[in-house]
């Protein structure tokens, strides 16, 4: 057993309390490789932001759990070396079984998500409670989920959104003992969050997605005042990145995300954790495709992963400063 404290990590409890009070959200950036980790830590140290390093079960398999533990410890030391000790959480994204959550707690994660949202309500309560009981013995935070986002969540996908039912949140939080709750208010995973039929078009012909259901968020907040709420599927799918990808051989069709003004509004509420994965994937892919087109003779991975890392870092800094408001909160 490796405890997260041995790695120099923190759980999310205090970070969330401060974020809810301060009207900002902590960035939860997914990662599975060295360049992404360097970009995340570099951006968060430069902006003095707390951060949640988020690992899906697929990412854990990809990166290897032993390496991940050392990468997380390395992230803490790297931040120190860069000159500022930011609080760092290592979080399991969309855990689907008790065994996976337990294994992550045992290998140094300071926070886990148990996503029972695809189960019937009572089963979700039971599974989430089981994880909370175990995780809390080790001072590890637990995120639960109510409502289902459209799009792909790791190996599980849903074609339609099932909005969170506000009348369930109080009972769920009470019965499970979770530390934070992911809700579904119209965000969605991936780079194709909405079909063109669900969108309108602005005067430039650009797809405009349906607005988030702030009424559901407000109803939830009323029933569990001050309780930390999490937003998944919060990438904005920047059109400039999609353009770079498509003009350098890519084929992303109808990619559309959540407008940043709406995320800013959510971050000012009880939403204190915002999950961003797809935007990072787009930033990396755009930079790599551009390098390949401009320098086809290049074959040193550092020559294309380096620009990808720089582009990622800029993206993360932008999110922290202009969208989530977590700069200078570390
Ligand atoms: O919510 C899903 C995350 O974007 C993780 O995606 O399972 O492909 O690593 P992944
Ligand atoms: P995006 O696909 O919108 O980046 O969402 C990521 C996410 O919710 C990870 O859990
Ligand atoms: Zn998610």
DSSP string, 113-170: EE--TTS-HHHHHHHHHHHHHHHHHTT-EEEEEESB-BEEETTEEESS-B---HHHHH
Helix (H, G, I), strand (E, B) or coil at 102: helix
Spatial neighbors of 265 by CB under 8 A, at least 6 apart, are 214
- Ligand 1 pocket by Cβ (under 6 Å): 30, 56, 58-59, 93-94, 153-154, 189, 277
Mean pLDDT estimate for the chain: 96
pLDDT of residue 329: 98
Question: Average pLDDT of 213-226?
Answer: 98
Give the pairing type, strands 229-231 and 207-208: unpaired
| Nearest Cα residue to atom 3 of ligand 2 | 233
Asked whether residue 8 carries a pLDDT value surpassing 90, the answer given is: yes
Residue 32 CA, closest ligand 1 atom number: 9
Asked whether residue 188 carries a pLDDT value surpassing 50, the answer given is: yes
Residue 232 CA, closest ligand 1 atom number: 1
Q: Return the ∠ at Cα 110 (arms to 167 and 179), rounded to 5°.
A: 20
Q: What is the rounded CA–CA span in Å between residue 59 and residue 323?
A: 25
Asked whether residue 152 carries a pLDDT value surpassing 60, the answer given is: no
Between 18 and 158, the more confident residue is 18
pLDDT of residue 154: 45
Q: What is the rounded CA–CA span in Å between residue 70 and residue 290?
A: 32
Q: What is the rounded CA–CA span in Å between residue 54 and residue 242?
A: 24
Q: What is the rounded CA–CA span in Å between residue 85 and residue 99?
A: 32
pLDDT of residue 150: 79
For residue 222, name the pLDDT band (cuts at 50, 70, 90). Answer: very high
Q: Which CATH number, 3.20.20.70, 3.10.150.10, 1.10.3720.10, 3.40.50.720, labels domain 4-324?
A: 3.20.20.70
Dump pLDDT digits (tens) for 242-270.
999 999 999 999 899 999 999 999 999 99
This prediction has a pTM of: 0.97
Domain range summary for the chain, segments of one domain joined by +: 4-324
């Amino acid at each position: 057993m490796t405890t997260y404290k041995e790695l120099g990590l923190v759980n999310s409890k205090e970070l969330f309390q401060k974020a809810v009070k301060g009207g900002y959200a902590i960035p939860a950036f997914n990662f599975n490789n060295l360049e992404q980790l360097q970009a995340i830590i570099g951006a968060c140290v430069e902006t003095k932001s707390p951060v949640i390093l988020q690992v899906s079960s697929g990412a854990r398999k990809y990166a290897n759990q032993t390496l991940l533990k050392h990468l997380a410890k390395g992230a803490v030391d790297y931040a120190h070396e860069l000159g500022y000790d930011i609080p760092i959480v290592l979080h399991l994204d969309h855990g689907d079984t008790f065994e996976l959550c337990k294994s992550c707690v045992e290998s140094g994660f300071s926070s886990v998500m148990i996503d029972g949202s695809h189960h019937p309500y009572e089963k979700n309560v039971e599974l989430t409670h089981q994880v909370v009981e175990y995780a809390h013995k080790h001072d590890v935070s637990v995120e639960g989920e109510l409502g289902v986002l459209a799009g792909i969540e790791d190996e599980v996908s849903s074609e339609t959104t099932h909005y969170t039912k506000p009348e369930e949140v109080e009972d769920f939080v009470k019965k499970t003992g979770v530390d934070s709750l992911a809700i579904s208010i119209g965000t969605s995973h991936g780079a194709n969050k909405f079909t063109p039929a669900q969108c309108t078009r602005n005067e430039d012909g650009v797809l405009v997605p349906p607005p988030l259901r702030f009424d559901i968020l407000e109803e939830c907040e009323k029933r569990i005042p001050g309780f930390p709420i999490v937003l998944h599927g919060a990438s904005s799918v920047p059109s400039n990145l999609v353009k770079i990808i498509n003009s350098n051989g890519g084929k992303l069709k109808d990619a559309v995300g959540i407008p940043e003004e709406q995320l800013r509004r959510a971050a000012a509420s009880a939403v204190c954790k915002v999950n961003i994965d797809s935007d990072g994937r787009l930033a990396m892919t755009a930079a790599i495709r551009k390098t390949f087109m401009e320098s086809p003779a290049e074959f040193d991975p550092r020559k294309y992963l380096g620009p990808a890392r720089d582009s990622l870092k800029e993206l993360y800094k932008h999110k922290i400063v202009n969208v989530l408001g977590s700069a200078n909160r570390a």
